[in-house]
Amino acid sequence: MPDPAGSMDPRERSIIEGMRAGDDRAFERLVRDNIGPLHAVALRLLQNQADADDAVQEAFLSAYRNFSSFRGDARLATWLHRIVVNAALNRLRRRKRQPDHGAVIIDVSDLLPRYGEDGRPEELHQQWVRPADELAARAETREQVRQMIDKLPENYRTVLILRDIEELSTTETGELLQLNPGTVKVRLHRARQALRNLFERELELTREA
């Protein structure tokens, strides 16, 4: 998102100028100011502390080496976010070739809504008895939700994270995952549908639950 030079945060401007001048302290400020949220992004994608540490380190070193490519037409945090997402996704691709770590993964197709020949649902959908804000206020529920997201197959989970949590566009998500926009949309929709079903069942969100 363009950020006119006049509205740039003074601290961010100082870091950018310092980085361009080769000031060591500017790099340290860049790291300290951004490592918290970037580490959280890497951990969400990789689900593993050591891998997240490696991805974050790789991302900061890549930012250092390639700082000349930062043009200042986006927030520095946004530019770094893209780099760390890329680093984490590269690690995920490499990890795919390794054996599974024993995690419980659901079959998304088992959780999609079912319909009869006439196009009507096999079970009528009901109104949820508790809204999201009330549910999210409970630490136990937040943990349950995170665990259910982690049960999604990786190709659905990564799309959901990039679109609904990192708030990347369909186009950006497709570029990062090397998927066409239609495939991103279908995976996102199915991931949401599967989670809707899981949440409804596991969090007892209907009167009959």
Partner 1 sequence: MSDEHKCTRPGGTGIAIGIGLAIDSQRQDITCREIGEFLLAYLEHDLGGGARAEFERHLNKCPPCVHYIDGYRETIELVRRCVRDEPGAGSGVGPGGGSQCGDAPKHKPPEGLIQAILAAKRSIERG
Site for partner 1 in 138-197 (CB under 8 A): 141-142, 145-146, 149, 160-161, 164-169, 172, 180-183, 185-189, 192-193, 195-196
C-alpha torsion angle, residues 29, 31, 36, 38 (rounded to 10): 140
Give 96 or 146: the residue with its C-beta nearer to partner 1.
Answer: 146
As a whole number of angstroms, the distance between CA 124 and CA 38 comes to: 42
Q: Which stretch binds partner 1 (CB under 8 A): 13-21, 70-78, 90-98, 99-107?
A: 70-78
26 is a site residue for partner 1 (CB under 8 A): no
Give 95 or 196: the residue with its C-beta nearer to partner 1.
Answer: 196
96 is a site residue for partner 1 (CB under 8 A): no
As a whole number of angstroms, the distance between CA 192 and CA 202 comes to: 15
Task: Determine which residue in the list 100, 107, 110, 133 makes contact with partner 1, applying CB under 8 A.
Answer: 133
Using the 8-state DSSP alphabet, how is residue 8 labeled? Answer: S
Shortest gap between Cβ of 101 and partner 1 (angstroms)?
20
53 is a site residue for partner 1 (CB under 8 A): yes
Which of 26, 93, 94, 92 is closest to 60 using CA atoms?
26
Task: Determine which residue in the list 15, 26, 41, 176 makes contact with partner 1, applying CB under 8 A.
Answer: 41
32 is a site residue for partner 1 (CB under 8 A): yes
Angle ∠(35,94,144) on CA atoms, nearest 5: 60
Q: How far is CA 154 from CA 12, 127, 178, in A?
A: 35, 30, 14
